[in-house]
Structure 1
Amino acid sequence: MRHIRDLTHSYRRALYISAMAWLLSGCSLLQTESFNFQAELPENFTISATTYYDAASGESCPGHKVIKSDQPKGTQLIELKLPLTEKVKGCSRVLKSVVLNIKGQWGKRELDMSLQKAALYIRDEPTETTRPFPASGPLVFQGQCQWLFRTSGPNRVIRKILKCRALDANGVVQKSLAGGSMLRDGLAGRTVKLVLSVAQKEKPYYRGWWLETPKGWRPCTGLWGTNNEEFCTEPYKFLESFKMPDGRDCTVYPNCTE
């Protein structure tokens, strides 16, 4: 009889250990539920992600954000695993959005760079802009970055500003930021990919302040009587010169000389 009691006790203990292991495993899986984010980047671009969480339904805890680090320099394909849920101090939070911080380097100096943002939104209900998941493979969002040039400072040195926008299915540039929205349901374990390209031609930062000629862009002046670029009006008057970042005095961009 004692032998039977010992076996029963051992059996119950084994069941208890197995049950606890299963529960812990289940909690671990819940806490680490995530999706894969990939970014395909042009040369001299980097990207990092900031994830924003809100309290789960029925809870009153505040949201928070977690910053993911940049990828190593020279890497044109980055992959991050982004948690869909977070639990901090007993408070459950769910991922609502991901802000993607894009950095483009246009020159050799450290300051020769510009920043832009893209965004991913996780929806609980479908909207007109929510993208469905494909039957297989990643959900891909296309975007295009445009370099915009202008002169800056008393020496009228060329500087560049980055502008990144979404592309539609036909490759047409949209007004919205690169990225988009997707449903939470079915997102766990899937891959979401942002593919960024760069427009072949640069454009002036101020529309209508430079005139495009067969030799290149020329900065207008004369409207307000300054020695800086100004809105182009006929008869056209141009700046005598401006400086390239490397110090050259030029009259047209990007060819420098006519």
Structure 2
Amino acid sequence: MRGSLRWATLGSCLALTLGCSAVGKPNSFTFVPDFPADFTYELKAIYLPAQGETCTLPVKRDFWVSFNKPGMEYISTAEIELYRTESECPLALNHVEIKIIGVIGRDEKRSYSGYDYASFAVRPELLERQMGTFGDDGAGEFFGECQWLFRTVGPKRYITKILTCKKMDEQGNVRRGRPSTAYTLTQLSGKTVRLKVKLADEEKPAFGDTWVKVPGGWKRCMGKGFEDQDAFCFGNYEDFSTFKMLDERVCTIYPGCTENKEETQ
């Protein structure tokens, strides 16, 4: 009799799809970033009314919890709830958005960061072909490759970079779109989700026809002069400009700059 009552209670709980995801099962999972050096992340967990609920949230249609936003204490891993109740409305996790942040020149006088996004959907049910998988250790992984795209800014042509991240499969093949996957609420209970990001071996120009490939790297086309911010080559592959690195070196080839520090014009 006790066994029958236990399974009846469990069935009712699953049918309601509320905060009792399943009797005795954890109401959270752990997100773990596996990123290159000098990469960090911010995360937003987005919730909507649980399946079958007709309640609404005041003012906005969804609710979210943020991790590692500016001003917050940085945490290396995030413990994310599957179910919450806000304004007496039972909510279920619907989407997780990860901001992948790369920092350049952390120890230099000048520094900056670039970012792109990864995400995964969370649903009560998914087709099997849409679902991410978990290993025997309770960990699921999805993959991405991030690449720095370089350009110059300002009349002194300081090097700056744009970060772009693409989906990658388990075999290391880069795919279209940003890193992403999907899980069910039941799958995630008590599990670990790891986003593994590698950095591309080479950087590339952010815009076409602005740099010329040479031994050791790339040369920046002069354009109409240092005041020409676009400075497209337009077929002129003989007149090049210098540019400045973050440590103030004036260089002629990126990234293979061997020049010493000096003042530019």
For residues 99 and 111 of structure 2, the distance between their equivalents in structure 1, rounded to whole angstroms, comes to 17
For residues 36 and 150 of structure 2, the distance between their equivalents in structure 1, rounded to whole angstroms, comes to 19
Deviations, residues 124-151 of structure 1 (Å, cap 9, x unaligned): 2227543233454311111111111100
* Amino acid in structure 2 at the alignment position of 1:33: N
Contact 2:149 2:203 in 1 (8 A): yes
1:48 matched to which residue of 2? 42
Give the alignment's TM-score, normalised by structure 2: 0.76
1:4 matched to which residue of 2? none
- Residue 90 of structure 1 pairs with residue 88 of structure 2: yes
Deviations, residues 134-178 of structure 1 (Å, cap 9, x unaligned): 454311111111111100011111011111221013212222112
Shift of the 240–223 alpha-carbon distance from structure 1 to 2, 3 Å rule, reads: closer
For residues 127 and 209 of structure 1, the distance between their equivalents in structure 2, rounded to whole angstroms, comes to 46
Shift of the 197–236 alpha-carbon distance from structure 1 to 2, 3 Å rule, reads: same
Shift of the 52–33 alpha-carbon distance from structure 1 to 2, 3 Å rule, reads: same
Q: CA deviation at 1:96?
A: 0.4
Shift of the 110–97 alpha-carbon distance from structure 1 to 2, 3 Å rule, reads: farther
* Amino acid in structure 1 at the alignment position of 2:101: K
- Residue 65 of structure 1 pairs with residue 64 of structure 2: yes
Shift of the 243–221 alpha-carbon distance from structure 1 to 2, 3 Å rule, reads: same
* Amino acid in structure 1 at the alignment position of 2:181: G
2:141 matched to which residue of 1? 140
Q: CA deviation at 1:33?
A: 0.8
* Amino acid in structure 1 at the alignment position of 2:112: D
Shift of the 188–82 alpha-carbon distance from structure 1 to 2, 3 Å rule, reads: same
Q: Which one has a bigger Cα radius of gyration?
A: 1
For residues 31 and 128 of structure 2, the distance between their equivalents in structure 1, rounded to whole angstroms, comes to 22
Contact 2:104 2:113 in 1 (8 A): yes
Deviations, residues 218-253 of structure 1 (Å, cap 9, x unaligned): 122438996445333434143321111211221110
Contact 2:26 2:190 in 1 (8 A): no
Give the alignment's TM-score, normalised by structure 1: 0.78
For residues 31 and 190 of structure 1, the distance between their equivalents in structure 2, rounded to whole angstroms, comes to 11
* Amino acid in structure 1 at the alignment position of 2:187: G
Contact 1:84 1:94 in 2 (8 A): yes
For residues 48 and 225 of structure 1, the distance between their equivalents in structure 2, rounded to whole angstroms, comes to 37
Contact 2:216 2:253 in 1 (8 A): yes
How many residue pairs were aligned? 230
Secondary structure of the corresponding residue to residue 222 of structure 1? coil
Secondary structure of the corresponding residue to residue 185 of structure 1? helix
For residues 249 and 37 of structure 2, the distance between their equivalents in structure 1, rounded to whole angstroms, comes to 25
Q: CA deviation at 1:215?
A: 2.7
Secondary structure of the corresponding residue to residue 186 of structure 1? helix
Secondary structure of the corresponding residue to residue 131 of structure 1? coil
